[in-house]
């Protein structure tokens, strides 16, 4: 009799335990993964805009960035203060919303989309390349009075860069923004080549947690690269000069 009870009670116990676990799990808070919204690239967005496709273009950056420059026809719906900005959106919540921000590694567009979803909006496209690549392609923009304002760059002297390279801590990325032929003819050791006119499009290779040091021969192209990285929200950007590196007699790789 005891053996019979053990044989029948144990499976029943397991069944009850399983049911209890399912019940508990059903009431646990779910940690949602970041929503994967469909995306479009620069050519696709331009085609849609040229065809006057029915859409609302949303700039998810902060108001200061929007005032400096934004895509034609876009409305500013920043992550902070989104409640007031929503008044600019159509009452038809099935309208296609195309969101953009500061490029490939900027998460503002997706975060704004995630905040719009509970309000009933469901038709999203993310223009991930954002305003840096749009500008790089020399496409039309609405430019405010602060656009193109001269900035001061943080400089790294050749001796400091040499010490950084020799320390080999791997806490920086050195970017040669000249063209590939110039890079092949000679560059600073450890440098990677990202021509200034393509820097925004290639920026997914640059980690934001590291120092980014840009250089060209005399400073004009690296200044352009520096400004692009500011637009891409890189926090630690520096500039150095190849001409000074060579004048100091430091090694050049080919």
The ranges assigned to domains in the chain are 39-143, 158-247
Instruction: Write the CB contacts of 204 (distance below 8 Å, at least 6 apart in sequence).
Output: 104, 105
Q: Judge contact between 171 and 210, C-beta under 8 A.
A: yes
Which of these CATH numbers, 2.60.120.620, 3.40.980.10, 3.40.1180.10, 3.40.250.10, describes 39-143?
A: 3.40.250.10
What's the confidence (pLDDT) of residue 24? 41
Give 47-106 pLDDT, tens digit per residue: 999 999 999 999 999 999 999 999 999 999 998 888 888 889 999 999 999 999 999 889
Q: What is the pLDDT of residues 165-177, one digit of tens each?
A: 999 999 999 999 9
Contact 239, 140 (CB under 8 A): no
Helix intervals (H) in 27-62: 42-50
Task: Quick: pLDDT tens for 91-145.
Answer: 999 999 999 999 988 999 999 999 999 999 999 999 999 999 999 999 999 999 9
Q: For residues 236 and 211, is the Cβ–Cβ distance under 8 A?
A: yes
Q: Decide if pLDDT at 17 tops 90.
A: no
**pLDDT one-digit tens code per residue, 212-229:** 999 999 999 999 999 999
Q: Round to whole Å and give the CA distance between 99 and 115.
A: 12
Number of H helices, E strands in the chain: 10, 11
For 146, phi then psi, to 5°, come to -90, 0
- pTM assigned to the model: 0.75
The class level of CATH for 158-247 reads alpha beta
Query: Around Cβ 226, how many Cβ atoms within 10 Å?
Result: 25
**39-143 and 158-247 share one fold:** yes
Q: Which of helix, strand or coil describes residue 215? A: strand
């Amino acid at each position: 009799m005891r053996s019979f009870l053990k044989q029948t009670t144990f499976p029943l116990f397991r069944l009850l335990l399983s049911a209890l676990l399912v019940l508990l799990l059903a009431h646990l808070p779910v940690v949602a993964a970041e929503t994967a919204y469909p995306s479009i690239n620069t050519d696709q967005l331009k085609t849609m805009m040229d065809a006057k496709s029915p859409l609302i273009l949303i700039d998810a950056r902060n108001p200061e960035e929007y005032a400096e420059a934004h895509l034609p026809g876009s409305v500013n719906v920043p992550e902070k203060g989104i409640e007031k900005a929503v008044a600019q959106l159509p009452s038809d919540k099935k309208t296609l919303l195309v969101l953009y921000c500061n490029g490939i590694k900027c998460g503002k567009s997706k975060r704004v989309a995630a905040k719009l979803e509970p309000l009933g909006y469901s038709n999203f496209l993310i223009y991930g390349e954002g305003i840096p690549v749009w500008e790089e392609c020399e496409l039309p923009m609405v430019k405010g009075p602060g656009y193109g304002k001269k900035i001061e760059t943080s400089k790294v002297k050749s001796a400091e860069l040499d010490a950084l390279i020799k320390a080999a801590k791997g806490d920086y990325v050195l970017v040669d923004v000249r063209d590939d032929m110039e890079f092949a003819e000679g560059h600073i050791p450890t440098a990677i080549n990202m021509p200034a006119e393509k820097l925004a499009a290639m920026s997914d290779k640059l980690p934001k947690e590291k120092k980014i040091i840009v250089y060209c021969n005399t400073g004009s192209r690296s200044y352009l690269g520096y400004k692009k990285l500011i637009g891409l929200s890189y926090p630690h950007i520096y500039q150095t000069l190849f001409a000074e590196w060579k004048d100091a007699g430091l090694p050049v790789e080919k």
